[in-house]
Amino acid sequence: MSQSPSAHTFQVDLRGLVDLLSHHLYSSPRVYLRELLQNAVDAITARQAVQPGAPARITVRTGDTLSVTDTGVGLSEADVHTFLATIGRSSKRAADGEIEAARGDFIGQFGIGLLACFVVADEITVVSRPAASPGAPAVEWRGRSDGSYTIRTLPADALPEPGTRVTLTPRADAGEWTEPERVTSLARHYGSLLRHEVTVVDPRGESTTVNETPPWERRHGSPLARAEALAEHCRATFGFTPLDTIDLDLPVAGLRGVAYVLPTAVNPSERAGHRVHLKGMLLSDRAAELLPEWAFFVRCVVDVTSLRPTASREALYEDETLAAVRDALGARIRDWLTGLAASDPVLLRRFIDSHHLAVKALARYDDALLRMLLPWLPFETTDGNVTLEEFARAHPTVLVTRSVDEFRQVAPIAAAAGLGVVNGGYTYDRDLVHRLPEIRPGTTVTDLDPATVTAHLDPADSAAELAAAAFLAVAREVVGQYDCDVVLRAFQPVTAPALLLDDREARHERTRAGLAQSSDGLWADILGSLRTEAPRAQLVLNHLNPLVRRAATVTERGLALTTAEALYGQALLLTRRPLKSSESALLNRAFIGLLTHAMHDQDTPGSGPDAKEH
Ligand SMILES: Nc1ncnc2c1ncn2[C@@H]1O[C@H](COP(=O)(O)OP(=O)(O)OP(=O)(O)O)[C@@H](O)[C@H]1O
């Protein structure tokens, strides 16, 4: 026969729980003060809801013990049993479990905050008098970290006015967190934006009030004075002078604050942390999740009522409200950027100067950022270092190179021929330039290919073409072995004898073909099937160049072969790409050939390049 199940209640080992909180939930023991301040604020909020105009003071006293006294709603003996003595129970939840904090009233919600005090003390004493019944005696609750507690009533004068006093006797190993100076700086850190007055009293009785009105809410004599006050605040908070300040104001989310624009480049993968206050209480100074990833160039300070914290209260809880706030703040920062683009090009340029590399890195993945900033980003072009917008205005067809070397070699010639070329060789640049037509309809972007450049170079006149025919035939014979054509054109600068136009695809195609020839069986078939009709490279000889003019008249076959090899070799070197062994051999041959000819000329005075055939 089966026994009927017997009911038991979980036992909670409080020491284990405190250990869990202190080592895994909270980043530092200092959070104990935040939890105490927060409870005091919530208690005042609760009292003012029923007694508008009730006093709103929080006093932190330091010394051998640390106490936080508030003029809040207070606790009756029944409340003490219900809320203080039951972990996880909170007066800030409605009966149906609905979190009132989410509606904007309280900061606390979980019913575990008080446990943070056990991180620095073994015993917590709470003395409280409910504001609802002023004549009631005070109740004292002593809770210990082993999970035991005692309750007793005290005469009403144990607490001079309704409210609550929480007292801790710090453990020997936690003394540093309760020293007077440390407490003042922690109170300022967490509580400077709290709406209720927070005063820290040191053992000599000197008091410091930590509240301050943030500079974005203060009245300033002039816009300049306001800008200066904000810059000063940014320096004090983040340690830099901002390039500009963006006001953030989202009334529906109960959010106010500012975004400071960083004056120097940052690594976009290191998301900047923002300083977020929830209902005045500092939540985190590293909350990256407040802004979209692309907004890496600002750091914000905000105070918000509608967002929720995680249980550690050190990060924002990721929910739909946070997503909506993030989008709205992103839109605000975009507006700032578009506003700059429209009205303050000088500041926009300073912004781009600092952040363009990071902006380029992100714009590839962020369409919105791309649309907004691509026209303003600087690129190296045949018109110098200009924005794509300026460049596209002058050149409806934008040509972009695949490598820096290709740009260096072709740009001067293409520019002289009236073509607009952008150096696409740097990381991201080619991809980005290709997206310009999405943003700027009517603009065409194409990769620079040899045919485009040659099509824009002036052909040599037919008489010159005819006169050079014999030499060109020899040259075609020589460079044909390298899958290259030879054409005669006239182009600037005259000092350039030859230009080798080649593209990577054509080169790969030739490598593939070469491999197919030298392999057999399966590989030859595979490589053969990959073969496409790729454009050949082109050696463009410059008819305006004096050396080329003379070369065209060479009739001696040996010298013509060497000259063609030398011209090809020189153009090859200018492409700055790695040479294949056959190309190095050609250069070597051409050099020795020219040397031999030069020496031969010396041996037989009167002979020269024009000498008749031997
Ligand atoms: N200073 C105070 N005045 C009045 N009631 C208090 C005070 N401090 C604590 N309490 C009561 O004790 C309960 C538990 O407090 P605790 O700090 O553990 O959790 P919480 O503030 O409700 O939530 P959280 O864990 O999010 O801080 C509170 O809900 C409140 O009812």
Q: Report, as an integer, the average pLDDT of 447-462.
A: 83
**Predicted pLDDT at 613:** 42
Mean pLDDT of the chain: 86
Least confident of 61-70, 89-98, 122-131: 89-98
Q: Is the pLDDT of residue 523 over 70?
A: no
Where in the sequence is the domain holding 199, given as residue range(s)? 15-209
71 and 197 co-located in one domain? yes
* Ligand 1 within 6 A of CB of 162: no
Is 329 contained in some domain?
A: yes
pLDDT band at 413 (very low <50, low <70, confident <90, very high): confident
Please state, in angstroms and rounded to a whole number, the distance separating the CA atoms of residues 374 and 435.
9
Question: What distance in angstroms lies between residue 192's CA and the mean position of ligand 1's atoms?
Answer: 21
Q: Which residue has the higher pLDDT, 253 or 534?
A: 253
Q: What are the distances in angstroms from CA 218 to CA 130, 223, 241, 471?
A: 36, 12, 19, 83
For atom 10 of ligand 1, the residue with the nearest CA is 39
* Ligand 1 within 6 A of CB of 108: yes
pLDDT band at 424 (very low <50, low <70, confident <90, very high): very high
Question: What distance in angstroms lies between residue 35's CA and the mean position of ligand 1's atoms?
Answer: 9
Q: Is the pLDDT of residue 152 over 90?
A: yes
pLDDT band at 372 (very low <50, low <70, confident <90, very high): confident
* Ligand 1 within 6 A of CB of 443: no
**Predicted pLDDT at 100:** 47
* Ligand 1 within 6 A of CB of 113: yes
Pairing of strands 458-459, 421-422: unpaired
Percent of the chain clearing pLDDT 90 (strictly above): 53
Ligand 1 site-directed mutation target among 77, 90, 99, 166, most atoms within 8 Å of CB: 90
Question: What distance in angstroms lies between residue 171's CA and the mean position of ligand 1's atoms?
Answer: 22
| Chosen domain end from 298, 322, 345 | 345
195 and 259 co-located in one domain? no
Please state, in angstroms and rounded to a whole number, the distance separating the CA atoms of residues 498 and 478.
15
Q: Nearest CA to 125 among 142, 112, 137, 138?
A: 142
Residue matched to tokens 């939890």: 35
134 and 241 co-located in one domain? no
CATH of the domain at 595: 1.20.120.790
Q: Which residue has the higher pLDDT, 514 or 75?
A: 75
506 and 587 co-located in one domain? yes
Pairing of strands 458-459, 484-490: antiparallel
CATH of the domain at 301: 3.30.230.80
Q: Is the pLDDT of residue 527 over 60?
A: no
| Chosen domain end from 289, 319, 345 | 345
Q: Report, as an integer, the average pLDDT of 334-348.
A: 86
- Per-residue pLDDT of 377-391, as tens digits, reads 999 999 999 999 999
Ligand 1 site-directed mutation target among 42, 167, 279, 313, most atoms within 8 Å of CB: 42
Q: Is the pLDDT of residue 573 over 80?
A: yes
**Predicted pLDDT at 611:** 44
| Chosen domain end from 167, 182, 209 | 209
Torsion angle in degrees (nearest 10) through CA of 310, 314, 320, 325: 160
Question: What distance in angstroms lies between residue 90's CA and the mean position of ligand 1's atoms?
Answer: 6
Please state, in angstroms and rounded to a whole number, the distance separating the CA atoms of residues 219 and 210.
19
**Predicted pLDDT at 11:** 73
Question: What distance in angstroms lies between residue 53's CA and the mean position of ligand 1's atoms?
Answer: 22
* Number of domains making up the chain: 3
* Ligand 1 within 6 A of CB of 245: no
For atom 6 of ligand 1, the residue with the nearest CA is 39
Q: Nearest CA to 140 among 148, 149, 129, 151?
A: 151
Q: Is the pLDDT of residue 604 over 80?
A: no
**Predicted pLDDT at 612:** 45
192 and 269 co-located in one domain? no
Question: What distance in angstroms lies between residue 111's CA and the mean position of ligand 1's atoms?
Answer: 6
Which tokens is 384 given?
A: 């110098």
Q: Is the pLDDT of residue 405 over 50?
A: yes
Question: What distance in angstroms lies between residue 431's CA and the mean position of ligand 1's atoms?
Answer: 56
Q: Is the pLDDT of residue 394 over 80?
A: yes
* Ligand 1 within 6 A of CB of 139: no
- ipTM value of the model? 0.96
273 and 139 co-located in one domain? no
**H or E stretch covering 69:** strand 66-70
pLDDT band at 140 (very low <50, low <70, confident <90, very high): very high
Torsion angle in degrees (nearest 10) through CA of 72, 75, 81, 82: -60
Task: Return the exposure string of 11-43: e unless at least 16 CB atoms fall within 10 Å of the residue's CB, then b.
Answer: eeebeebbeebbeebbeebbbbbbbbbbbbbbb
Q: Report, as an integer, the average pLDDT of 447-468.
A: 85
Angle at 218 between CA 214 and CA 222, to 5 degrees: 130
Give bridge partners of residue 537 from the DSSP assignment: 484
What's this model's pTM, rounded to 2 decimal places? 0.73
112 and 148 co-located in one domain? yes
Neighbours of 109 (CB within 10 A): 19
Q: Binding site for ATP: what residues are annotated?
A: 35, 39, 70, 164
Which tokens is 403 given?
A: 């490598």
pLDDT band at 101 (very low <50, low <70, confident <90, very high): very low
Is 415 contained in some domain?
A: no
Is 95 contained in some domain?
A: yes
* Ligand 1 within 6 A of CB of 129: no
Residue matched to tokens 């997503």: 323
Q: Which residue has the higher pLDDT, 309 or 614?
A: 309
* Ligand 1 within 6 A of CB of 40: yes
Q: Which atom of ligand 1 is least distant from the CA of 68?
A: 1
147 and 219 co-located in one domain? no
* Ligand 1 within 6 A of CB of 170: no
Is 65 contained in some domain?
A: yes
For atom 1 of ligand 1, the residue with the nearest CA is 40
Is 580 contained in some domain?
A: yes
**Predicted pLDDT at 337:** 86
Task: Return the exposure string of 551-588: e unless at least 16 CB atoms fall within 10 Å of the residue's CB, then b.
Answer: bbebebeebbbbbbbbbbbbbbebbebeeeeebeebbe
Which tokens is 151 given?
A: 């309750």
Is 417 contained in some domain?
A: no
**Predicted pLDDT at 475:** 95
Q: Which residue has the higher pLDDT, 297 or 535?
A: 297
Q: Is the pLDDT of residue 49 over 70?
A: yes
Q: Phi, psi (5° rounding) for residue 150?
A: -125, 155
Q: Which atom of ligand 1 is least distant from the CA of 79?
A: 31
Q: Which residue has the higher pLDDT, 596 or 449?
A: 596
Q: Report, as an integer, the average pLDDT of 338-353.
A: 87
Q: Which residue has the higher pLDDT, 398 or 602?
A: 398
Ligand 1 site-directed mutation target among 33, 47, 83, most atoms within 8 Å of CB: 83
Q: Is the pLDDT of residue 439 over 80?
A: yes
49 and 173 co-located in one domain? yes
Q: Is the pLDDT of residue 608 over 50?
A: no
User: Sign (positive/negative) of CA torsion 15, 20, 21, 22?
Assistant: positive
Q: Is the pLDDT of residue 36 over 80?
A: yes
Ligand 1 site-directed mutation target among 87, 114, 317, most atoms within 8 Å of CB: 114
Q: Which atom of ligand 1 is least distant from the CA of 73?
A: 4
Give bridge partners of residue 282 from the DSSP assignment: 277
* Ligand 1 within 6 A of CB of 46: no
Q: What is the 3-state secondary structure (H, E, C) of 165-213?
A: EEEEEECHHHHHHCCHHHHHHHHHHHHCCCCCEEEEECCCCCEEECCCC
Is 272 contained in some domain?
A: yes
* Ligand 1 within 6 A of CB of 101: no
Question: What distance in angstroms lies between residue 237's CA and the mean position of ligand 1's atoms?
Answer: 30
**Residue-wise DSSP of 127-178:** EEE-TTSTTSPEEEEEEETTS-EEEEEE-GGGSSSSEEEEEEEE-GGGGGGT
* Ligand 1 within 6 A of CB of 69: no
* Ligand 1 within 6 A of CB of 111: yes
Please state, in angstroms and rounded to a whole number, the distance separating the CA atoms of residues 362 and 340.
19
Q: Which atom of ligand 1 is least distant from the CA of 84?
A: 12
**Predicted pLDDT at 564:** 95
Q: Is the pLDDT of residue 534 over 70?
A: no
pLDDT band at 603 (very low <50, low <70, confident <90, very high): low
Is 367 contained in some domain?
A: no
**Predicted pLDDT at 456:** 81
Least confident of 138-147, 233-242, 281-290, 520-529: 520-529
pLDDT band at 546 (very low <50, low <70, confident <90, very high): very high
165 and 268 co-located in one domain? no
**Predicted pLDDT at 451:** 74
Q: Report, as an integer, the average pLDDT of 38-62.
A: 95
CATH of the domain at 59: 3.30.565.10
Q: Report, as an integer, the average pLDDT of 400-417.
A: 85
Q: Is the pLDDT of residue 492 over 90?
A: no
**Predicted pLDDT at 606:** 52
Q: Which atom of ligand 1 is least distant from the CA of 74?
A: 4
**Predicted pLDDT at 532:** 52
Cis (ω within 30 of 0) for the bond into 162?
A: no
Which residues have CB under 8 Å from 166's CB, separation 6+?
36, 39, 67, 68, 69, 114, 117, 124, 125, 126
Q: Phi, psi (5° rounding) for residue 178?
A: -120, 5
* Ligand 1 within 6 A of CB of 75: yes
183 and 221 co-located in one domain? no
**Predicted pLDDT at 503:** 66
203 and 221 co-located in one domain? no
Question: What distance in angstroms lies between residue 47's CA and the mean position of ligand 1's atoms?
Answer: 14
- Residue 566: strand, helix, or coil: helix
**Predicted pLDDT at 243:** 96
